Amino acid sequence: MTSKDWAVPETEVLDGVREAIDGASESVLVTVVRVEGSAYRRPGAKMLFTGDESVGHVTAGCLESEFERVASEVRTSGKPRVERYDLSADGDDVWGLGIGCNGVVDLLFEFVDESHRPLVDAYESGDDVGVVTVLDAADESAVGARAYYHPEREEFETDDSYPSETLRPLRDAVVESTRHGQSETFELGEATVFVDGVSAPPNLVVVGSGHDVDPVVELGAKAGFRVSVVAYRGASSITDRLPESVTVHTTSPGAVREAVDFDRETYVVVASHNFVDDRLTVETLVGTPVPYVGVMGPKKRYEQMLDALEDEGVRLEPSERERLYTPVGLNLGGGSPYQIALSIVSEVLAVRNGREPGHLAERAEPIHDRVEL
C-alpha cells in the first residue's frame, strides 16, 4: 500500500472524502474517537483509505496494514465499525523501541457516502461543523447514524434514522465542542456517541501572479491553510502552474471583496509587485476584519504607500497598522523564493495561532544579527 500521503494536512483528507462522495472512488474514512495514554494523534484525527492508497494518518505509522485490512472489509460490507487497538502491540514498530507507537486508540471506520456531504460542504464553505456519530447503541442498526451541528446558523441537522434521544443530552456538549474544534466520545448509558468538532481551515489569500507566488501557495497549503490566489494580471499563466485545488480569482483591486470573503480567518499576502494595485488592495483590506496583511516589498515602498493613502485622506488607526506586516515574513535571512515563502508562511502560522515566533528552546541570549552568509 502506498502511504506517500501520510503527512498531508487535513484539507487533503477531506478533499478525498469529497471526491469519494462525488463517485471518484470507494473510500473508507477512519477517525480516532478515543485515546488512552499518550498516542501520537488525538480524537478527531482522520485518514482515508482509497483503493490501494491512503491519505493522512491516525497513528505514528503503527499497525497501518491492520487498518487497511479492516478498511477493506468495511468497503465491502458498507457497515461502520469501531475497533480498539493497543498500539504498543505493533510488532512491526517502524520507529524501534520508540515513543511513536504508544497508547490505546479506538478507531471508527466508515464507508464514505452521500451522508458525509454536510461535513465536506461545511468544510469547503469555510464553516465549522459538529459531527455527531453513534458508535454503539442497544439497537445495533443505529450504529453509524450521524447528525450535524451548523454553528453559523445554530442549527442541528438530522434525519429520521438518527436516534434523537441520544442528541438531547448532548446539545450543549456539541455546541461547545464545535466552537473549540474539540472531539470526544460520550457514554450515555445505552448509547456511545462521538462528537467531532471539525474546524474549517483558515484561509490564505495570495494576491499576485508572479512565479514567487507559487512557493507561498505550496507551503501555505502544506501548513493546513485553504489557499487561493487573486490575480489582477497574468491570471492564465498562474492558473496553468497551480494545482486545481487552488482557486485563482481574476479580478481588480476595486472588485476583490466581491470575489473573496475577507473574514477573521483569512490571512492575506499582497505580492502583485504593482505599486498601485498593492496600494488599492491594502486600502480595501483595511476595511475588513482580516487579522493579517503581509505586504511584500521594501519598507520604503510601504511607507510611500502609507503616504499615498494619507494623500487620499485614508489614515490608518494603530489597530489597523498592527495588522499590516512589512517587510513581510520572519527574520530568517535568505532571499530565494522558497526561503521567502518559508518566512512568510511561518509568520502567518504564528499570527494565526497567536504565538510570538521566537525559538521554542530557551536561549541564554539572542543570536546577534550579523550579515547573512
Of residues 138 through 177, those in contact with a copy of itself by CB under 8 A are none
264 scored as a contact of a copy of itself (CB under 8 A): no
The footprint of a copy of itself on this chain (CB under 8 A) covers a number of residues equal to 87
Task: Detail the DSSP E strand segments found in 160-317.
Answer: 183-187, 191-198, 203-207, 226-231, 247-250, 266-270, 292-295
At its nearest, how many Å lie between a copy of itself and the CB of residue 231? 10
Say whether residue 345 binds a copy of itself (CB under 8 A): yes
Could you give the residue ranges of the DSSP H alpha helices within 212-314?
A: 213-222, 235-241, 256-259, 275-286, 299-311
State how far the Cα of 365 lies from the Cα of 317, in Å rounded to an integer.
34
Q: Give least dist CB 129 to a copy of itself, A.
A: 16
* 359 touching a copy of itself, by CB under 8 A: yes
Range 170-209, binding a copy of itself (CB under 8 A) = 181, 199, 209
Stretch that binds a copy of itself, among 130-138, 164-172, 246-254, 317-325 (CB under 8 A): 317-325
C-beta atoms surrounding 195 within 10 Å: 25
Cβ atoms of 276 and 308 closer than 8 Å: no
For a copy of itself, give the closer residue by CB, 57 or 75. Answer: 57
Smallest gap from Cβ 137 to a copy of itself, in A, equals: 33
369 is written with which cell numbers?
544579527
**Residue 212 touching a copy of itself (CB under 8 A):** yes
User: Burial, 243: exposed, middle or buried (Cβ in 10 Å; 0-12, 13-18, 19+)?
Assistant: exposed
Residue from 53, 170, 277, 286 in contact with a copy of itself (CB under 8 A):
277
Residue 249: all three cell numbers together: 480569482
CA distance 338 to 193: 45
Determine which residue in the list 125, 261, 276, 287 makes contact with a copy of itself, applying CB under 8 A.
276
Q: Which of 91, 243, 313, 366 touches a copy of itself (CB under 8 A)?
A: 366
